[in-house]
Structure 1
């Protein structure tokens, strides 16, 4: 999954995850044609210096960081935002966990964003650049995985090669996206035979999960500098992680 952060401070909400802590060897790589870029890295709540402000420090490219990340449960999210210092330069980012790619953005442009789950080596998203002139007309779109979920008007579906997951960029702020999507979901209730599992909240990201390792569904809303917000929806059977 990808998508990410706006400049400014971040609020760290409660994380409803329990269980034994896990350790992941994470590598963050930033490249592209730009000579320098501002790189913001946000780690899970359990890690020291997990949250930073602004756009992050300016670094010389290519840039690489290796670190050990602690996480609990099945969801250990790492966020990377890259903004080229030169308006003509392009940037890319990649996150690997224990040697496996969990997120990358290699589409080019002056902005790159990666959001990866260090504990799920199958959840990598590659967003496609979108022009502001591509805002669709007509009625608000609906999710393919949850047909009764109506997305904000102007939402744009991102390409995906997997039919069990989808991602939409939404032209509304993160808080407004939550207000639009949350009331439509069976929060705290079972859904089509999937038992309610948990809610996960951290750093401008909210995720709701249903099911188990035999059939798992989640809806994840996160902040997105380019458009305002984004939602990722996945239903996979079986799931490599479960709930």
Structure 2
């Protein structure tokens, strides 16, 4: 089997704002594969979503079927910026991609978000060698931090950053702030990952967060990308449940 590229297909309840990992999209051996998480244990999967208002996607109406295609499924492909757009190359540059990047890479970086629904495509937290979790994501909320115009001069690739829990945050009690080592609050862990990472910090994990990519001229959502890595501590039932929706 060739290298497998996997993304979590996520639905967000528009009222509770909770996220549910309802399916998984993979690409390997020159084909795409989508399946629902109906058989996967843990909270935050398809069963929970169905109890909380989710309805099967019209393009994938059978819960226990594995859908396969040589091309990216049209229901997902339409979420990507068209190559006919005059600013397509600029979008690729903003995301740190090139014209040789794959559809899965573009879907991962844009997250496939549309204003018309509540689906997104998220990179999972992966368990790798040495019992370590790792992922990467763009820092959220930077445009609301009133940063100076020259904020980008504070950073360089591989520079380390700090995380801090914000249990009194009025919008998300599991919010995790991202800070420079000098103490400047620059933004947040994306809320899709926040509950899991908050729980890891609660379990005394010591994550490594480092700068991967900087582009101050792009959309604020894509200004700063970081790499996340942490060892997996001895997990309580609560922490295991928090990790379940965001891991593969």
TM-score (norm 1): 0.29
The structure carrying a bigger strand percent of its residues is: 1
- Larger Rg over CA atoms: 2
Bigger proportion of residues as helix? 2
